[in-house]
Chain A
Amino acid sequence: MKGFFRVAWLVVRKDMMVEARSLEVVSTTLFFALTVVLVFAFGLVREGTPVGDVSAAILWIATAFSGTLALGRTFERERQADTLRALMLAPADRPAIYAGKLAGMLLLMALVELVLVPLVGLLFQAPIVAYPWHLAALLLAGTTGFAAVGTLFAAMLVRARSRDVMLPILLYPITVPVMIAGVRGTAAIFQGTPDPDLARFWIALLLFFDVVFVTLALWTFEPVMTE
């Protein structure tokens, strides 16, 4: 068990070090997230005010889109230098490598969300500080579910043809429950009369989703990554 966390930590550290030196994925993903929010703003803001309760949806769509982009870029980098093969050849547990990749992805997406949330609050007048813990729990649980499936699929697709288009095609239908739970949960605390109990229900559903899909992914990673 100690070996598992050590390997996972080493993978995270490696990814963070590469990222810190190039800043490629962080900067492009952040800018992309900003662009997505602005595109929505131009589409949905009428006479200075947004139509309906769209802020929750925009937050989650921007997260999902930029997450997909980050997943693609992270694994593309591993493919170009053929370093994923080296990682797979390392005498380490495959699930531990997956866990490390997932943790790195979560850190990256958390960074993007730290910028996205205030931005959505600012541009769409969303009450982001009304229930900060609920919002944080929703984002954490939702992002974990999204990244758990995304990391596995992105890793699987490294060797596949037309992987760029395949990742969203495979990932979005599977993560529909995450999107529904995330958007509805966030909307429940953003709306005029907030409903924290409803948000708590969605957090519970997301946690359940996380447990099932992280377990499944840890389990599936070994057979799908074996050539």
Chain B
Amino acid sequence: MSTLNKIELALAGAMLAVAPWIIDAAPYESTMGLVQKIFYFHMPAAWLFLLAAIIAGTASAMFLFGKKRDMDGWALAAAELAVVFGIITLVTGPLWARKAWGIWWVWDARLTSSLILWMIFVAYLLLRRYGGPGSDKLGAGMALFGLANVPFIFVSVNVWRTLHPQTSVVPTLPVQMGGPLWFCITAFFLLFLALLSMRARLERQRVRIEDLYLAEDEA
């Protein structure tokens, strides 16, 4: 663990520890009340989910076409984080929707796209885990295709759904709630950075050990 990672983790930990008080102090949303507070965790998780997906896809492209082996570690780390933050997003979303819309799940463009993107990265991890030798390249292809697919999923689900009446519209967030929200986003982002670089480092070292084993066998 590098010094930077330690600082990031310490800061994120401290910020997340005081986050409940800050969220508690934020103004009450008039129509939704208490349930709105879930947004302070839902939104950062959703943003980082998308960021992780973009990093995984880009790193995979660089690994495939640029022949940069280290990039595979970054792609794997980002894909794992995409699944983690994706599950946070997909769990907190319906919890809010149950109270606000009265139903757990709506086949809304954003919800459906998130679910499919999450499934793409779960499939990626399954491939990495059970695909056997050579699955790093296959995974890179999958991540690249997954990322390229995002606009198509969004457009298709959007058109498919807007043919039907919308059940509800997400209200826009009042400005005075911005402070606590940005606080949480920063905390989550620091945690994300620390986890990403630590996991990528772990993967690089695993590859190095594997190379050493192979060299040993050949010698």
A169 at the interface (CB under 8 A from B): yes
A124 at the interface (CB under 8 A from B): no
B34 at the interface (CB under 8 A from A): no
Instruction: Answer whether A161 and B64 are a contact pair too, CB < 8 Å, given A152-B141, A176-B156.
Output: no
A173 at the interface (CB under 8 A from B): yes
B133 cross-chain contacts in A, Cβ below 8 A: 159
- Residue on A nearest B154 in the bound complex, by CB: A177
- What secondary structure prevails in chain B residues at the interface with A? helix
Inter-chain CA distance A166–B152, complex, in Å, is 22
B134 cross-chain contacts in A, Cβ below 8 A: 159-160, 227
Q: Which of B64, B131, B152 contacts A162 (CB 8 A)?
A: B131
Interface flags for A157-171 (1: CB within 8 Å of B; 0: not) read 101111000100110
Inter-chain CA distance A157–B132, complex, in Å, is 10
Task: Say yes or no: A213 contacts B145, CB within 8 Å.
Answer: yes
A227 cross-chain contacts in B, Cβ below 8 A: 134
- Residue on B nearest A201 in the bound complex, by CB: B159
Inter-chain CA distance A216–B148, complex, in Å, is 9
Task: Say yes or no: B137 contacts A174, CB within 8 Å.
Answer: no
Inter-chain CA distance A95–B25, complex, in Å, is 60
- For residue B2, give the distance in angstroms from its CB to the closest CB of chain A: 31
Give A118-169 interface residues, CB cut-off 8 Å to B.
Answer: 149, 152-153, 156-157, 159-162, 166, 169
Q: Which of B116, B141, B148 contacts A173 (CB 8 A)?
A: B116
Q: Which of A161, A174, A177 contacts B132 (CB 8 A)?
A: A161
Inter-chain CA distance A169–B119, complex, in Å, is 9
- Residue on A nearest B150 in the bound complex, by CB: A177
A181 cross-chain contacts in B, Cβ below 8 A: 156
- For residue B23, give the distance in angstroms from its CB to the closest CB of chain A: 34
B149 cross-chain contacts in A, Cβ below 8 A: 174, 176-177
B157 cross-chain contacts in A, Cβ below 8 A: 180
Inter-chain CA distance A100–B199, complex, in Å, is 40
Instruction: Answer whether A224 and B137 are a contact pair too, CB < 8 Å, given A174-B145, A184-B160.
Output: yes
Task: Say yes or no: B127 contacts A205, CB within 8 Å.
Answer: no
Give A173-227 interface residues, CB cut-off 8 Å to B.
Answer: 173-174, 176-177, 180-181, 184, 201, 205, 208-209, 212-213, 216, 219-220, 223-224, 227
Inter-chain CA distance A201–B140, complex, in Å, is 31
Task: Say yes or no: A156 contacts B123, CB within 8 Å.
Answer: no
Task: Say yes or no: A220 contacts B64, CB within 8 Å.
Answer: yes
A177 cross-chain contacts in B, Cβ below 8 A: 149, 152-153, 155-156
B73 at the interface (CB under 8 A from A): no
Inter-chain CA distance A223–B144, complex, in Å, is 13
Inter-chain CA distance A176–B116, complex, in Å, is 8
Counting from the closest, the 8 A-B pairs by CB-CB distance are A161-B132, A177-B152, A180-B156, A177-B156, A160-B131, A173-B119, A156-B138, A173-B120
**Given A157-B138, A166-B130, A173-B119, 4 extra CB contacts under 8 A:** A160-B134, A173-B116, A174-B142, A174-B149
- Residue numbers of A with Cβ under 8 A of B are 149, 152-153, 156-157, 159-162, 166, 169-170, 173-174, 176-177, 180-181, 184, 201, 205, 208-209, 212-213, 216, 219-220, 223-224, 227
26 A–B contacts from the bound complex (CB under 8 Å): A152-B141, A153-B142, A156-B138, A159-B132, A159-B133, A160-B127, A160-B131, A160-B135, A160-B138, A161-B130, A162-B130, A169-B123, A169-B127, A170-B123, A170-B142, A174-B145, A174-B146, A176-B149, A176-B153, A176-B156, A180-B157, A181-B156, A205-B152, A209-B152, A223-B64, A224-B141
